[in-house]
Amino acid sequence: MKKIYTGILLLLLTFGSVTFAQDPHFSQYYANPLYLNPAFAGTAICPRIILNFRDQWPSISGTYVTYNASYDQHIEKISGGIGVLLNTDRAGQGILNTTTASFMYSFLLKVNRTFSMKMAIQATYFQKHLDWQKLTFPDMIDKRHGFVFNTNELPPSRLTKANADFAAGVLGYGEKYFVGFAVHHLTRPDEGFISKSRMPMKFTVHAGGVINLVKKVRRKSNEHVPTLSPNILFMQQQNFQQINYGLYFNRYPFVGGLWFRQNFKNADAVIFMVGIQASMFKVGYSYDLTISKLTNATGGAHEVSFALQFNCKPPSKRVRAINCPSF
């Protein structure tokens, strides 16, 4: 029955001219900053590498598995940051595979001594591949013996779809707060296999702050000061809307987080996150506890992030790194 449900779901999302698929999402979205908003490219100043893995609904083996890798850094000569983002998403035990490669540039604008802005553009090449042999259809079922017949359904003329895609973002931040806005799929590229199916634009708004729990003594020791960071994220793609809100507690080298995710009509999940950070690396783990009508029989979702932050020579001009969560 799992194969039947998966096949029907993928057919609706892939072939339909009325229904549309949504992008993969991550619970630790600040641990995947370039995926969230291209304006984050270069905000850590020095080079960094980030790896992410998400397994959604693991009780239905291999249903939605997403891998992500990114690299970014600030380059003083071009007055901004660059970033490279690679993403692979596998749906339905590999029935539908999506691979994307993105390059982005973010321009840094110092508004005044306490506030900076980043404005970014992103170019993406994506490829979707459909493994027709793994799909199952109702006419393949024998009442007594299960899947024994060949289907009469005809595959599309092409099982691989490729196209270009574009995004843009803006980010404003001071020492203790940040707010951003991003739009993905600006040109609404065609992703359909049988009929034309344009990818719906995705709008993202996110904001947060950092609250020191003890009085700061010295600027250099600021990263070791215990902090609370309340955050909120709103996302809309076609008719799908999602809002996340919660907070992080940071007491170096440990980080904990508690989040609630919902749309405007139904609750979706409670997200628990723990992490550890050192001078050059960060590792985080989160679990999505499903509280919607799906119940937690799906297994929720597991997510792991790893970041490697390199040291570099400070820019000749003072450039402010963003002070926001990284999990």
Residue 73 is predicted with a pLDDT of 97
> How confident is the model over 167-191, as pLDDT tens digits?
999 999 998 999 999 999 999 999 9
The domains found in the chain, sorted by start residue, are 2-309 (2.40.160.40)
Q: Please state the pTM of the whole predicted model.
A: 0.89
Stretch 183-212: mean pLDDT: 94
What's the rounded Cα separation, in Å, for the pair 52 and 68?
5
The token pair at 80 is 């901004």
What are the tokens at 296? 């937690």
- CA-wise closest residue to 303 among 50, 105, 130: 50
**Closest Cα to residue 40, out of 302, 307, 318?**
307
Mean pLDDT of 307-320: 86
Q: Which residues contact 195 (CB under 8 A, 6 or more apart)?
A: 15, 16, 17
Kindly tell me if the per-residue pLDDT of 323 is higher than 70.
Answer: yes
Q: What is the pLDDT of residues 17-63, one digit of tens each?
A: 333 457 888 999 999 999 999 999 999 999 999 999 999 888 876 57
Nearest to 277 by CA among 73, 50, 84: 50
Instruction: Please give the Cα distance from 83 to 95 (Å, whole number).
Output: 30
Total count of residues recorded for the chain: 327
The values of phi and psi at residue 154, to 5°, are -100, 135
139-157 pLDDT per residue, tens: 888 888 888 888 888 888 8
Give the torsion through C-alpha atoms of 287, 292, 297, 299, to 10 deg. -20
